[in-house]
Amino acid sequence: SEVGEYTFAIFAVTGISLLVSWFVSIFFVPVFGYWMISMSKKKKSSKHETFRRDNHETFRNILNFSMSKKLISLSIIFFIFLLGFLSFKNVEKQFFPDSNRSEILVDVYLPERSSTRETEAVVKKLEKKVMEMPNILNVVSWLGSGAPRFFLPIDIIFPNPNVAQLVITPEKREMRDEMSEKIRYMASTLIPEARIRVKVLPNGPPVPYPVSFRLLSDDEKNLKEAASKVQTILAKHPNLINVHNNWGIKSSIINLSVDDARAREFGITPFKIAEALKVRSYGTEIGEFRDDKLLLPILFRLNKNDRDEVFDLRGIIISSEKGEAIPLDKIVKFSVDWEYPVIWRYDNKFSMSIQADTVGELQSPTITNQVLLEINKIKNEFADNVELQVGGTVEESSKGQNSIITGLPIMFFLIFTLLVIQLSSVSKSLLVFVTAPLGVSGALFALILFDMPLGFVAGLGIVALIGMIVRNSVILVDQIERERLSGKDVLNSVVDATLGRFRPIILTAGTAALAMVPLTKSIFWGPMAVAIMGGLVIATILSLILIPILYSIFYSEKTSSKIF
């Protein structure tokens, strides 16, 4: 998936950091610990200080209550877990956020078949107005195409005489959003004949339009009827602007119908007709002009005023094989028709995309789902051969998520294999694995609390939570086993191990959560940081209750012989 190009750094940095921290904890921490203890002037305490009971009374009471009321405790944990998953629909979805760069991109689309000179005149007029605005640092324009890829996620505009792109840089990043709205309004008023699109640079893979619906059909007429209804629905949504289809607006063309019998009678070939029309319209090349290293074609054609009208075409004279001067209208009939300038195909079918930009606070996946509900209400009015597909951000996000989901089974298998090797037990590994999904509820709660969307990067943070939660669970289960080996029964082993590991687990979880605080203000990393903080806090607290309960149930003296 393309998203790997933008998120690979997360895995690389995390993997390297974990390996380095493991190396440090194994080799350097014991050395420094021994050195600090040997240098300490304090007397060694003969009392076992794995934990201080007076500092754990509150948690001890909670743990004792949970152990005595297992069914109630499990029900509460399951309710919290279920409530978190049910809140998923209340979390706004997002693919990638906009970048924090200050540039404003203005795309200008004139009607198809517009000339480069018309595009240049429009851009000059727009440039002049933009430069008159306050707090503008610079304006750079490209005619006939978009800007080159000066930023990796930029969406490339393919060459076309009717398109242009302006890159406007305000003096400060904080001015970007306000100035974007002013430029959008000014440009739409100044150039009503053009379709203006004002946008900012994205952070992830480029998505042409955030909201898009693709219609497919073998029948062009049925496709147009369905597309018209879908476009009407999108145009009514208050958070959508610049609603259009990718076929463009119909433009006029001149159709020629040649009377083949008359043409043969006069000895006029289709090639002669084409050459005569070419001289009248585009012109024919009669030579080349060398300008230093450039070869410029020399065209022979009539003046613009003499070649624009249809009646001029009727007056074209063509020489027959006998040298007779034959008016073109004796063998050709002219008619003016209207057609789409571009016809798209997808999967070998006619394809028309209805697409739009978003405004306001709602995320594009939320708007897409709202519009989709309205489209489904009239979908039965579509012809049977019309197929509706969701595009835009939703489609691109689905591609990215599928690339992650594909690798999850391998990840879970490797984690479980390592757990079995570490704990030397399949059942204990399953016990540890049960706590892995607990972080999802906390992550979703945190995203709702901080009003942040669940984007692709936040999803990666939730996946990373699994490793953090499993680590704490392994520490706790391993300590329980150590307590049992010392001769204690299951209940005392569970309680003493949980109280003994309570402080280290809380400290490691708290440290990891606090380390995310500086990232919460970041546009790109903020949702991921909030998801990790919320998931880690909730999962740590729940796992300190859930694992003792499950261990005491499955490894009590009555059931331990049945556990494999």
- Residue 287: which CATH number? 3.30.2090.10
- Does residue 480 surpass a pLDDT of 70? yes
Q: Among residues of the chain, what percentage have pLDDT more than 90?
A: 23
40 and 73 in a single domain? The answer is: no
**pLDDT at site 560:** 44
334 and 289 in a single domain? The answer is: yes
pLDDT tens-digit map of 198-256 = 999 988 788 889 999 999 999 999 999 999 999 999 999 999 999 999 988 888 888 88
H/E segment holding residue 64? helix 57-68
The predicted model gives 370-378 an average pLDDT of 93
What is the Cα 523 distance to its own chain's centre? 14
**pLDDT at site 308:** 61
Query: Domain boundary residue among 307, 339, 371?
Result: 339
| Beta partners for residue 345, in sequence order | 350
**pLDDT at site 41:** 52
At residue 49 the predicted structure's pLDDT band, cuts being 50, 70 and 90, is very low
Decide: 216 and 389 in contact? Cβ < 8 Å.
yes
Whole-angstrom CA distances from 290 to 282, 295, 300 are 21, 5, 17
**pLDDT at site 352:** 94
Structural domain total, the chain: 4
Half-sphere exposure of 512 (CA within 13 A, CB side): 25
Q: Is residue 499 part of a domain?
A: yes
At residue 51 the predicted structure's pLDDT band, cuts being 50, 70 and 90, is very low
At residue 564 the predicted structure's pLDDT band, cuts being 50, 70 and 90, is very low
541 and 457 in a single domain? The answer is: yes
531 and 435 in a single domain? The answer is: yes
Decide: 197 and 104 in contact? Cβ < 8 Å.
no
- Say what the pTM is: 0.76
Mean residue pLDDT of the chain comes to 84
- Does residue 376 surpass a pLDDT of 80? yes
* 179 vs 555 pLDDT, higher one: 179
Pairwise CA distance, residues 116 & 120, whole Å? 6
Q: Is residue 367 part of a domain?
A: no
pLDDT tens-digit map of 407-462 = 788 888 888 888 888 888 888 888 888 888 888 888 888 888 888 888 888 888 88
Whole-angstrom CA distances from 450 to 389, 468, 539 are 33, 22, 18
Q: Which of 97-101, 216-220, 281-285 has the lowest mean pLDDT?
A: 281-285
Pairwise CA distance, residues 319 & 267, whole Å? 9
145 and 194 in a single domain? The answer is: yes
**pLDDT at site 109:** 93
**pLDDT at site 322:** 76
- Does residue 558 surpass a pLDDT of 70? no
The predicted model gives 115-144 an average pLDDT of 91
The predicted model gives 94-123 an average pLDDT of 89
**pLDDT at site 50:** 45
For residue 353, report the phi and psi dihedrals to the nearest 5 degrees: -100, 130
62 and 104 in a single domain? The answer is: no
**pLDDT at site 310:** 56
**pLDDT at site 307:** 63
Q: Is residue 370 part of a domain?
A: no
Query: Domain boundary residue among 201, 217, 236?
Result: 201
Tell me which residue has tokens 């706590």.
435
The predicted model gives 384-413 an average pLDDT of 86
- Does residue 107 surpass a pLDDT of 70? yes
At residue 559 the predicted structure's pLDDT band, cuts being 50, 70 and 90, is very low
At residue 1 the predicted structure's pLDDT band, cuts being 50, 70 and 90, is low
Structural domain boundaries, residue 475: 48-90+424-556
Helix axes 438-449, 70-86, angle to 10 degrees: 50
Q: Is residue 5 part of a domain?
A: yes
* 58 vs 119 pLDDT, higher one: 119
**pLDDT at site 46:** 47
* 437 vs 367 pLDDT, higher one: 367
Query: Domain boundary residue among 305, 339, 373?
Result: 339
67 and 182 in a single domain? The answer is: no
The predicted model gives 493-499 an average pLDDT of 87
Helix axes 220-236, 364-378, angle to 10 degrees: 130
Measured CA angle at 447 (ends 414, 101), to 5 deg: 95
At residue 311 the predicted structure's pLDDT band, cuts being 50, 70 and 90, is low
Q: Report the amino acid identity of residue 112.
A: E
- Classify residue 460 as exposed, middle or buried by CB count within 10 Å of its CB (0-12, 13-18, 19+): buried
Q: Report the amino acid identity of residue 358.
A: T
